[in-house]
Amino acid sequence: MSTEDWEARVAALWADDTIDDQERIDRMRVLADAAPHPALGAFELGGANDSGGHEAEADVHYTAATAAGLDTVDPARAARMIVQHASTLRNLGRVDEAITMLRDAPEHPATGAAPKVFLALALHSAGRHDEALRVAIEAVEPTLPRYHRSVRAYAAALTES
């Protein structure tokens, strides 16, 4: 199967609202085996498990995608995977790992402010509420039409000691 055909099948599977989570995982497993690169298949299978509530299995596939070089094969997917994998780690109770992963996440158009939003969630899960709110405010500040200086100052004041 060509890369274009594989990509189209993956997109169609994600868009199919008529199937349940387990069927999506089963179908994605078949597509993952036919992926043009192992990193792509592992990422998509990780995502299917993740969205199906199988975080431990998703972690295995996300780790495999990283090891297979997803960052060089598909930088946009790699950026998305950081957000997804960190969210999975948070759900597995591995909050410190999630925080580290999200703090180190490179900026990418495929994710926009998502790494910062998910970092705020992870910080909140860690009980670091003021820091979480600061990160969330700082993520949204660039999108405001006005009040940038004030919002930045208020955000900074949340964690000043």
CATH at 65:
1.25.40
- % of the chain at pLDDT higher than 90: 98
Structural domain includes residue 141: no
Location of structure tokens 């109770």: 93
Question: What is the pLDDT confidence band of residue 161, given thresholds at 50, 70 and 90?
Answer: low
32 domain residue, yes or no: yes
Q: Is residue 65 part of a domain?
A: yes
| Range(s) of the domain holding residue 44 | 3-97
Chain length of the chain: 161
The pTM score is 0.92
Residues 6 or more apart whose Cβ sits within 8 Å of residue 136: 116, 117, 120
Half-sphere exposure in the Cβ direction for 65 (13 Å, CA): 31
Query: Average per-residue pLDDT in the chain?
Result: 96
Residues sharing a CB contact under 8 Å with residue 45, sequence separation 6 or more, in sequence order: 25, 28, 29, 32, 61
Q: For residue 71, is pLDDT > 90? A: yes
Q: Please state the domain count of the chain.
A: 1
Task: Express each pLDDT in 102-113 by its tens digit.
Answer: 999 999 999 999
Within a domain: 56: yes
In a domain, 132, yes or no: no
Q: Is 75 a member of any domain?
A: yes
Does 73 reside within a domain?
yes
pLDDT the model gives residue 100 = 98
38 in any annotated domain? yes
